[in-house]
Structure 1
Amino acid sequence: MDDQRELNLTLDLCLRIGEVLLSSGAGAADVTATMQSVARHLGLRHPEIDVTFTSVSMSFHGSPEEPPVLMIRKIKSKDIDYEDLTQVDHLVRDLLANRMDLYLARSRMATIVSTGHPWPRWSVTLAWGLMCASVAVFLGGGPLVALIASAAAMTIDRAQLRLARRRLPTFYLQVAGGAIATLFAVAVAATPLEVDLSLVITANIVMLLAGIGFMGAIQDALTGFYVTAGARVIEALLATAGIIAGVSGGLSVADVLGIDLGRLVPGQALGHHVLIGVVGAAVSAAAFAFACYAPWRVLVPIALTSGLATLLHAVVADSGFGRTWAAATGAFTVGLVAYAVAGRFRVPPLVVAVSAIVPLLPGLSIYRGLSLLSAGGPATSQGMFAMMTAASVAVALASGVILGEYLAQPLKRETRRLEERLAGPRLVGPLRVPRRGRSRAPRVS
């Protein structure tokens, strides 16, 4: 009975760890590998693990004469909390290093999932406002543009929070966000103020894109988890479609009212001065990390990483390679640096990578495409091309980060057998697989 109880507790712990990792944006390969590492260390040899977008299941068959034990946990959508992700990552590492046993790990896991966010919700709203103001500066906007973008962002955050409490799907939250951003611009355009309102809309589009899991979808596709990848791609497409619907609806309102919001001139991604643009990108990345409850100690490294990637992005773009290759270069730099930064400041590389690429998200291409499509006529083809550019930039960002992580991570002897089964870099979870014989396998009675 004791062995059966220990088996059930082990499976439950692995599933709870997998739930937190998957809901925080970790790839299915990382989730599976982490659960296997924990199970193996606690004595379960060759458990069967199945990860989908909405559930995690794990089974163990100790003997052909005994029925298998199967447990399933549904994945509940929740706000991204990088503090919880970091604590779970530390729990797994401590467990594999024999600094705690099964029962202490379960107690610590219960504390992690039951503890609230590390700082109040209103501070997150302020962080979203700072992020959008910084993106506006990154795009070349002045203080007034940054102020309007910040006010729109905070309004979007509070509106989405209230709609989420009413359990509206993410698609409608994104529609509301895109509409609010555009209507803010329409309202300001009706005043005598002379402001480049296209930058206001673009900055808020970047904010809405920041929560979409492009990286997880690409990572799952590259590592062979096609079902989970397909589900994440569909979710990302629906969320992006919601942004497009909201912004296009606001542009239609502007056309009906006869208000001209202006047209965004491409190629002004760093505004009028490279240094100001780099600083804006760095602050926006740190603000996004704060809004996702990343630990304080990693905010400055994230800002520096994002600033470096943005600078390289500008250099490649100015060299004539195009926005897609420039985005891929910046993302590759993020992936290459994120592994070292994450190890130094004791956070999962996912926290650094996702936050640092936020300023490079294709908000500019999406707004340009929508504005050209709304103009109609010969501009329609240019609008479609801009939307395709946005899609290619999103793929380049995700694949560039993953390639950088792959080259940055050392292939240790203990992980080679696992990496043969689960190809790809590890953005979450330990690299070391415990050796055989460290713990005794539970006998099922």
Structure 2
Amino acid sequence: MSRKPAPAQWIPHRMRRLLWTPLAQRPGAGAAPGTAAGSAVPAVLHIAVRIGELLLAGGQGAEDVEAVMLGVTHAYHLPDCEPQVTFTMISVSWQAGPDAVPITVDRTVRHRESDYRRLTGVYGLVDDILNERATPAQARARLDVISALPPLYPAAVIAAATGGIAASASVLVSGRSDARAALTFLVAFAAAVVGDRLAAVLAAWRSPPFYRSAVAAVPAAAAGVVMALAGIGLGGSAVVTGSLFALFPGKALVGAVEDGLTGFYLTAAARLVEVLYLVTGIITGVLAVLPLGVRLGAVFPPVGGLGGGQQNVVLHIAAAMVLAVCLAAVLQTPAGILPYTAVGGGIAWGVFHLLSSPLSLNPIFATGAGACAGGLFGQLAARSRHLYSLPYVTGALGPLLPGSLLYTGVLALVEGRGADGLANLSRAAATALALAVGVNIGSGLPRIAQLGTSRLPELRSRPRRRRRGGTDDAGLQEPGRSRVSDVER
């Protein structure tokens, strides 16, 4: 009788265990490559590197990329491989013996873009490789198809989703539902769309991300100045704040913190510098316009934090859910995942609101707790569908981004209150870090709980014969659904 197949979510943990096991102690260490890989070592290494390249370009953490690459080489019966990821450089090497010349294949990821449909296809391929359902030739063919996938949503949808982020954020920071709020919503939407299209033009010209971020922030700042001069100062502040939500590199920050927490300090430091440059570009774009408005007599009242205006909780939760869906659409998340993202965004903001308003806890702690709740929900939703969790988690973080603190800090600098400005910018940085740490904790809780209740089988270099019972570790595929490994976070 065949034994019960292991759940798909066990696969990533087994790959991580293998990754952190010393090379000499790994299963099959020192053995010759299996017959499936012995005549095609370069091809197997090439497949592993191409998979790692797609994962890293899509925003996966360094640990997950290395673990998947190592799992792929072991699945093709190629022991003694050593993958390495350092910021934009990916490599995997194999040496037949102490006196043999090592074979190394490497790639440099020069352009990163979020496309969760492509990542879903990559993890579907990884699942098939780990369960011996894809030969090297089939894997190469599928990688060609995945790499050539067009964007899931056209540019017009992405621009509209970017506008939706800014417009929803303007509601979050004001909490109003009157005519002025409707005008602010529309202006924030239009300004963000214009900024997104300008950034797209610069991207087509291969301009550095710093300049793209700076230029994308200008339309919203200009719209805010016009509204302030028209006597709608709070609306102008909400428009600028909404653009900061749309432009803030939250996904890159979460990836940087994840790499630091998992021990990839060099990669984490490089990613943090990247985030710093992007945020500096955003601040530069705002500072290029707001001082001009102040000289013309515009008055910008500071906005509150999330929900800092009228306490219309239902309106805030609805805005948080819309913001989460729009952010997920910008990240090319498949449509079937968007409802889960909306619920996750509502949960994250609801926990934040509960802790920061009725309970009056520190907003930074409340942000971390809200991110933890959103990450936990996303992880559980992904596991229930046997999918990897990143698309379920990332969008839910949008409502908690520190856009209002960033705006308050910039406004203080414009008004000559340098100490207050630096203090608010420091609070924005602390809030962003709390968000990143919280989502990593929330995403990791199911794995920790699973460790306490299960003894996971080791991923070993499998022989040509089938395992006991005639099934492999992940078992059979559910009809009508492609199961993929849900590499956490």
Structure-1-length-normalised TM-score:
0.90
Secondary structure of residue in 1 paired with 2:288: helix
Cα shift at 1:123: 1.3
Which residue of the partner structure matches residue 168 of structure 2?
134
Q: Aligned partner of 1:363: which letter?
A: G
Residue in 2 aligned with 1:375?
Answer: 415
* In structure 1, C-alpha distance between the alignment counterparts of 2:433 and 2:78, rounded to whole Å: 38
State the alpha-carbon separation in 1 of the partners of residues 310 and 86 from structure 2.
42
Partner of 1:229: 268
Paired residue for 2:211?
172
> Structure 1 pair 58/270, CA: closer, same or farther in 2 (3 Å)?
farther
Whether 1:160 and 2:217 are equivalent positions in the alignment is no
CA distance in 1, matches of 2:38, 2:134: 20
State the match for 2:19 in structure 1: none
Q: Closer, same or farther in 2 for the Cα pair 1:215/1:404, shift >3 Å?
A: same
Q: Quick check: 2:57–2:111 contact (8 Å CA) kept in 1? A: yes
Pairing 1:188–2:227 present: yes
Shift of 1:171: 0.6
1:334 is the counterpart of 2:368: no
TM-superposed deviation, 1:265:
3.5
State which of 192, 198, 214 in structure 1 corresponds to 2:237.
Answer: 198
Q: 1:259 aligns with which of 285, 298, 312?
A: 298
Q: Which residue of 1 aligns with 2:437?
A: 399
Note the 1:73-152 alignment, pairs <5 A. 73-139=107-173, 140-141=175-176, 142-152=181-191
**Which 5+ residue runs of structure 2 have no aligned equivalent?**
1-34, 466-489
Q: 1:24 to 1:285 in 2, by over 3 A?
A: same
SS of alignment partner, residue 93 of structure 2? strand
**What is the one-letter code of the residue matched to 1:397?**
L
SS of 2:111's equivalent?
coil
Q: 2:42 matched to which residue of 1?
A: 8
Shift of 1:347: 3.7
Distance 2:250 2:433 in 1: 15
> Counterpart of 1:100 in 2: which secondary structure?
coil
* Contact persistence 1:270–1:278 (CA under 8 A): no
Shift of 1:266: 4.3
Correspondence for 2:7: none
Shift of 1:373: 2.0
What does the per-residue CA deviation read over 1:12-55, in whole Å, with 9 as the maximum and x for residues that have no partner? 11111111111111110111111111111111112111101111
Instruction: Spell out, residue by residue over 1:334-356, the C-alpha distance to the aligned partner (whole angstroms, 9 max, x if none).
Output: 22112111123454212222111
Residue type of the alignment partner of 2:296: L
Residues 388 and 195 of structure 1: is their aligned pair in 2 closer, same or farther, counting only changes over 3 Å? closer
User: Runs of at least 4 residues of structure 1 off by over 4 A?
Assistant: 1-5, 192-195
Instruction: Tell me how large the CA RMSD over aligned residues is.
Output: 2.0
How far 1:283 moved relative to its partner?
0.9
> Structure 1, residues 305-360: CA drift from partner, whole Å, max 9, x if none?
11011101001101121210010110111221121111234542122221110110
2:333 alignment partner, SS class: coil
Shift in Å, 1:177: 1.7
| Distance in structure 2 (CA, Å) of the matches to 1:356 and 1:168 | 30
- The CA deviation at 1:257 is 2.3
| Rounded Cα–Cα distance in structure 2 between residues aligned with 1:132 and 1:380 | 27
Residue 46 of structure 1 aligns with which residue? 80
User: Retained in 2: the 8 A contact 1:83–1:295?
Assistant: yes
SS at match of 2:80: coil
State whether structure 2 residue 428 is matched by structure 1 residue 390. Answer: yes
Residues 192 and 332 of structure 1, relative CA distance in 2, 3 Å threshold: closer
Greater shift, 345-354 or 54-63, is seen at 345-354
Q: Cα–Cα, structure 1 residues 385 and 8, in superposed 2: closer, same or farther, change >3 Å?
A: same
Distance 1:137 1:266 in 2: 11
CA distance in 2: counterparts of 1:316 and 1:269, whole angstroms: 14
> Matches of residues 210-225 of structure 1 in structure 2 within 5 Å?
210=249, 212-225=251-264
Aligned AA (1:186):
V
- SS of corresponding position for 2:110: coil
CA distance in 2, matches of 1:23, 1:437: 30
Distance 1:367 1:347 in 2: 37
From the superposition, tell whether residues 370 and 108 of structure 1 become closer, same or farther in structure 2 (CA, over 3 Å).
Answer: same
Instruction: Tell me the residue number matched to 1:422.
Output: none
Alignment CA distance shift 1:64-1:273 (3 Å): same
Measured in 2, the distance between the counterparts of 1:90 and 1:2 equals 21
1:194 positional shift = 6.9
Task: Quickly say closer, same or farther: Cα 1:215–1:3, change in 2 above 3 A.
Answer: closer
State how far apart, in whole Å, the 1-side matches of 2:75 and 2:101 are: 23
- Going from structure 1 to structure 2, the CA distance change for 1:299 and 1:353 (only over 3 Å counts) comes to same
2:207 partner letter: L
2:388 aligns with: 348
SS at match of 2:289: helix
**Matches of 1:219 and 1:292 in 2, distance apart?**
19
Deviates more, 1:75-84 or 1:274-283: 75-84
Q: State the SS of the aligned residue for 1:73.
A: strand
Describe the shift of the 1:211–1:317 C-alpha distance in structure 2 as closer, same or farther (beyond 3 A): closer
Q: Tell me the distance in 2 between the aligned counterparts of 1:242 and 1:46.
A: 44
Q: Rate the CA distance shift 1:361–1:168 in 2: closer, same or farther, 3 A.
A: same
Answering whether residue 72 of structure 2 is matched by residue 72 of structure 1, we say no
1:357 is paired with a residue whose SS is helix
Residues paired across the two proteins, number: 421
1:357 is aligned, of 372, 397, 408, to 397
1:213 counterpart SS class: helix
Structure 1 range deviating more: 136-145 or 113-122: 136-145
In 2, Cα distance between equivalents of 1:79 and 1:23: 6
Deviations along 1:257-316, one digit per CA (max 9) or x if unpaired, are 222233224463474301110111111111111121111111001100110111010011
Tell me the residue number matched to 1:437: 462
| Matched position secondary structure for 2:40 | helix
2:285 & 2:233 partners in 1: Cα distance? 24
Q: Which one of 249, 270, 273 corresponds to residue 288 of structure 2?
A: 249
The change in CA–CA distance for 1:110 and 1:279 in structure 2 (over 3 A counts) is same
- 1:380-408, CA deviations, whole angstroms, 9 ceiling, x for partnerless residues? 32222211110111100111111112211
Could you report, residue by residue, the CA deviation over 1:65-92 in whole angstroms, capped at 9, with x for unpaired residues? 3211011101021321111111111111
CA distance 1:402–1:2, shift in 2 (3 Å): closer
User: Aligned letter for 2:328?
Assistant: A
